[in-house]
């Protein structure tokens, strides 16, 4: 019996690995990513015309606003395209985030700080824990807004390459933590009050005055963080890395040499400068009258500090880079700093080209209203099927994951879906608390980030991968990340179902069911 089960498992494993190979082959036959995004933008133009002709529309479940498909092939649509091409490019969030952070990264990398840090990590950390540490760092990077995409993902590839493992496996592990685990964290982040505010408005349709606090999912998200680390580590080491095999590329590997006394001194001064920088930021946020708190409400969650955290990330790399460079002698004047910055920016040319076309695709899609119409119609369809209980929650997770393939913004999706599903689940028997619906949404909103080109930073991930092999393309990324999406979806849904069956609160004032006295 065991022999039969082993053979079945081996057969299924071979079929799964072979299917990933086909996904990669087909995906890599797609045009260059820049061309692909340009073609997708043109496709949106054509679909917008068809949607307009067919009278496609949807009604916002709360505001009652009617969204109609806008025809980009009309005279008005053509004028909009012509007048907004530059604005689409300039206001595309990843562009500014990446270029600003690269100022700090350029100094840290050019001074040699990154190289020394990686060597220090490789020489001091047990290699068995490297994969898990990278996934964990990805989850923690959620506190730094979008910086995880820019910093940790390429760093994961660099670390794996440095210790003789396939760099794409390191990139995948970091991508899993940063993007696939987006809904998990060990601390309250800036997205939590945004989602809670939307949930509160939806809940008040049933219970006037109902308050949903930002920590309503905290217990569940905290435990989810450990789940993501375990799944991400297992998939990387048991599926992704064996499939990738030994790296045969020509990318330069960082030398793993013992740190010199000067380098160790440089690291110490870099660490001291980070500590001083963090203390400085703490003094602007922790006191009630802190300079970077909201000047009107005094809030630290909704504040200039968190809203523009990317500036803090810039300084956290820039200042230690300067301290390290001065100590070891790689920075002797402002000219050296400018040289390091120029070198880092010179490597962003291909990314800027990708962003130009990706921005047009995303904003064409938004302008046409196709994304909003699709989301509303999908939500209403699931509601009308008549599913209840755990089955409905699981179906809702899967719907959220599917919609996430086409519509990137978490807050935008939740603003549409919450008014439909929160009231509905509060009225079924037994009535589910809004925090549960929000937690289910966050799972779906995370797991498919890894395989959708609609994700804003997908083009950047392709650019990072091509550093190790110029043949890597969209298909490579999707086929590499698909096992993570499958296993994260299964594991995270299982955790939610177990949580529901046991009845553990999801967070402070976040029970599974709505207390009877409120209904």
Give the C-alpha separation, 436 to 442, whole Å.
Answer: 10
Give the C-alpha separation, 302 to 189, whole Å.
Answer: 10
How much is the average pLDDT of 181-202? Answer: 78
pLDDT value of position 297:
79
pLDDT range class, residue 16, cuts 50, 70, 90: low
State yes or no: pLDDT of 255 exceeds 70: no
Taking CB atoms within 8 Å and a gap of at least 24, the contacts of 121-126 are: 121/159, 122/159, 122/162, 122/163, 122/256, 123/256, 123/258, 123/259
More confident: 433 or 138: 433
pLDDT value of position 218:
87
Q: Rg for the chain (alpha carbons), in Å?
A: 24
Give the C-alpha separation, 150 to 112, whole Å.
Answer: 18
State yes or no: pLDDT of 380 exceeds 70: no
State yes or no: pLDDT of 353 exceeds 80: yes
pLDDT value of position 256:
58
How much is the average pLDDT of 223-232? Answer: 95
What angle (nearest 5°) sits at the alpha carbon of residue 438, between those of residues 433 and 440? 100
More confident: 105 or 439: 439
More confident: 402 or 347: 402
Residues 92-105: tens digit of each pLDDT: 766 777 788 778 87
Q: Which of 233-242, 359-368, 369-378 has the lowest mean pLDDT?
A: 369-378
How much is the average pLDDT of 442-465? Answer: 83
pLDDT range class, residue 479, cuts 50, 70, 90: confident
pTM of the predicted model as reported, rounded to 2 decimal places: 0.68
pLDDT range class, residue 500, cuts 50, 70, 90: very high
State yes or no: pLDDT of 6 exceeds 70: no
């Amino acid at each position: 019996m065991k022999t039969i089960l082993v053979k079945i498992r081996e057969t299924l494993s071979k079929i799964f690995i072979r299917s990933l190979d086909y996904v990669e082959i087909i995906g890599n036959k797609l045009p260059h990513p820049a061309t692909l995004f340009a073609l997708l933008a043109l496709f949106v133009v054509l679909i917008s015309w068809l949607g307009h002709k067919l009278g496609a529309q949807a009604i916002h479940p709360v505001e009652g606003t009617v969204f109609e498909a806008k025809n980009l092939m009309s005279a008005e649509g053509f004028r909009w395209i012509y007048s907004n091409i530059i604005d689409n490019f300039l206001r595309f969030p990843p562009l500014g985030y990446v270029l600003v952070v690269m100022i700090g990264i350029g100094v840290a990398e050019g001074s040699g700080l990154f190289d020394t840090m990686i060597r220090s990590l490789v020489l001091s950390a047990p290699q068995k824990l490297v994969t898990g540490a990278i996934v964990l760092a990805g989850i923690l990077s959620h506190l730094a807004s979008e910086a995880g995409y820019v910093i940790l993902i390429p760093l994961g590839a660099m670390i794996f390459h440095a210790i003789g493992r396939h760099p794409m496996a390191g990139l995948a592990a970091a991508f899993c933590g940063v993007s696939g685990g987006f809904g998990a964290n060990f601390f309250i982040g800036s997205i939590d009050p945004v989602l809670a505010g939307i949930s509160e408005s939806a809940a008040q349709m049933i219970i006037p005055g109902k308050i949903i606090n930002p920590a309503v999912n905290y217990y569940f998200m905290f435990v989810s963080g450990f789940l993501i680390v375990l799944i991400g580590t297992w998939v990387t080491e048991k599926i992704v890395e064996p499939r990738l095999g030994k790296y045969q590329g020509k990318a330069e590997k960082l030398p793993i040499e013992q740190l010199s006394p000067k380098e160790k001194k440089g690291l110490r001064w870099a660490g001291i400068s980070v500590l001083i920088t963090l203390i400085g930021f703490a003094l602007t946020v922790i006191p009630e009258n802190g300079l970077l708190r909201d000047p009107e409400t005094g809030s630290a969650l909704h504040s200039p500090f968190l809203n523009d955290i990317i500036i803090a990330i810039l300084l956290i790399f820039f200042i230690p880079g300067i301290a390290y460079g001065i100590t070891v002698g790689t920075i002797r004047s402002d000219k050296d700093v400018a040289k390091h910055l120029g070198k880092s920016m010179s490597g962003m040319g291909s990314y800027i080209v990708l962003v130009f076309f990706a921005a047009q695709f995303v904003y064409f899609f938004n302008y046409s209203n196709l994304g909003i119409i699709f989301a509303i119609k999908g939500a209403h369809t699931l509601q009308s099927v008549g599913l209840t209980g755990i089955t409905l929650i699981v179906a809702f997770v899967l719907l959220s994951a599917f919609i996430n393939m086409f519509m990137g913004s978490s807050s935008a999706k939740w603003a549409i879906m919450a008014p439909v599903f929160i009231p509905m689940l509060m009225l079924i028997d037994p009535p589910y608390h809004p925090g549960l619906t929000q937690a289910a949404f966050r799972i779906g909103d995370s797991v498919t980030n890894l395989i959708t080109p609609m994700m804003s930073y997908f083009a950047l991930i392709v650019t990072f991968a091509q550093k190790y092999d110029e043949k890597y393309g969209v298909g490579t990324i999707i086929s590499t990340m698909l096992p993570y999406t499958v296993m994260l979806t299964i594991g995270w849904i299982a955790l939610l179902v177990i949580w529901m069956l046991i009845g553990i609160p999801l967070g402070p004032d976040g029970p599974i069911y709505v207390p009877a006295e409120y209904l």
